[in-house]
């Protein structure tokens, strides 16, 4: 039997959030507010902005300090959800975990419901949203780069023009990706081939990874972010 989940075992994605004095309601479709607990700090994304701040937990008691956030603007409904999410986090005084569900409360009132986010890469599919070219830049328009981490240790996908295959293996948050082998066709479109070459090159230098809700980030051995992916809907 697997050991019960603990707060810091994985990220948690909110499934329902209480507004003001109301009961929790499901999050807006397509949004992924989530939180990660590490040591005495939390970090995450509220739906629009990223945040971080302190927390303390003892037994079933929990207390989160004031969150520091980025200052992006999003749709009004998303911003309202984010505000309710952050206010609920800062109001919570107890929590419980049952299976893969985390519940946070204030007194007897349920404020937040979360589901544990799998942190394994096995049998997961992603599409590239950014890659490091002196700085992390967006993918060239109309070029789709994908990565499928198969359970048999093979990595496969499209590199924007050609298909490729490689090997992959992880140990805790460390990852090793073998040299990719791909098809050799040429494609039109400004920057498509240069981007493909850079992506395949960067695959060979990543050494650690982090999964947060719907995103995957890969870093080099100095901790610099090299690749950013979003989860592909199954």
48, part of any domain: yes
* pLDDT single digits (tens) 172-221: 899 999 999 999 999 988 889 999 999 999 999 999 998 887 889 999 99
Give yes or no: residues 137 and 178 share one domain: yes
Give yes or no: residues 29 and 82 share one domain: yes
Give yes or no: residues 140 and 41 share one domain: no
Q: CA torsion angle for 117, 167, 131, 126 (degrees, to 10)?
A: -40
* pLDDT single digits (tens) 24-63: 999 999 899 999 999 999 999 999 999 999 999 999 999 9
2, part of any domain: no
Q: Which of 72, 95, 116 is the last residue of a domain?
A: 116
Query: How far apart are the C-alpha atoms of 127 and 146, rounded to whole Å?
Result: 4
Give yes or no: residues 170 and 192 share one domain: yes
DSSP state of 47: S
> Binning pLDDT at 50, 70 and 90, where does residue 142 land?
confident
Give yes or no: residues 86 and 21 share one domain: yes
Give yes or no: residues 141 and 167 share one domain: yes
- pLDDT number for residue 106: 96
| Mean pLDDT value across residues 102-117 | 96
Give yes or no: residues 139 and 71 share one domain: no
If one compares 132 and 146, the residue with the highest pLDDT of the two is 146
**β-strands 124-133, 215-219 pairing:** unpaired
Instruction: Show the domain range for 129.
Output: 124-231
Phi-psi region of 5 (alpha: psi -120 to 50; beta: other; left: phi over 0): beta
Q: Which of 116, 150, 170 is the last residue of a domain?
A: 116
* pLDDT score of 233 more than 70: no
Give yes or no: residues 142 and 204 share one domain: yes
> Binning pLDDT at 50, 70 and 90, where does residue 21 land?
confident
Q: The CATH number of the domain where 214 resides is what?
A: 2.40.128.270
- pLDDT number for residue 124: 92
Give yes or no: residues 72 and 23 share one domain: yes
Number of domains in the chain: 2
| Mean pLDDT value across residues 79-88 | 96
Query: How far apart are the C-alpha atoms of 124 and 232, rounded to whole Å?
Result: 8
Give yes or no: residues 78 and 148 share one domain: no
Distances (CA, A) of 63 to 21, 94, 104, 141, 174: 19, 8, 10, 44, 31
Q: Which of 116, 139, 174 is the last residue of a domain?
A: 116
Q: Find residue 64's DSSP bridge partners.
A: 55
1, part of any domain: no
- pLDDT number for residue 115: 95
- pLDDT number for residue 189: 86
4 by Cβ neighbours in 10 Å (0-12 / 13-18 / 19+) ranks as exposed
Q: Find residue 44's DSSP bridge partners.
A: 35, 51
Give yes or no: residues 28 and 101 share one domain: yes
């Amino acid at each position: 039997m697997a050991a019960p989940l603990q707060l810091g075992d994985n990220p948690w994605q909110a499934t329902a959030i209480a507004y003001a004095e109301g009961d929790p309601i499901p999050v807006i479709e397509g949004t992924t507010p989530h939180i990660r607990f590490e040591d005495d700090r939390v970090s995450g994304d509220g739906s629009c902005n990223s945040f971080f701040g302190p927390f303390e937990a003892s037994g079933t008691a929990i207390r989160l300090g004031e969150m520091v956030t980025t200052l992006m603007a999003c749709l009004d409904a998303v911003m309202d959800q984010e505000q309710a999410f952050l206010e609920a986090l800062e109001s919570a005084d107890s929590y419980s975990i049952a299976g893969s569900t985390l519940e946070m409360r204030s007194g007897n009132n349920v404020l937040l419901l979360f589901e544990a986010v799998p942190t394994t890469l096995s049998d997961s599919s992603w599409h590239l949203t950014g890659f490091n070219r002196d700085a992390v830049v967006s993918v060239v328009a109309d070029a789709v780069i994908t990565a499928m981490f198969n359970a048999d240790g093979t990595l496969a996908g499209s590199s924007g023009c050609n298909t490729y295959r490689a090997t992959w293996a992880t140990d805790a948050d460390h990852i090793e990706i073998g040299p990719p082998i791909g098809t050799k066709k040429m494609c039109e479109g400004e920057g498509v081939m240069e981007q493909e070459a850079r992506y395949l090159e960067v695959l060979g230098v990543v050494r650690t990874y982090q999964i947060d809700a719907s995103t995957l980030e890969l870093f080099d051995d100095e901790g610099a972010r090299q690749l950013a992916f979003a989860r592909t809907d199954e």
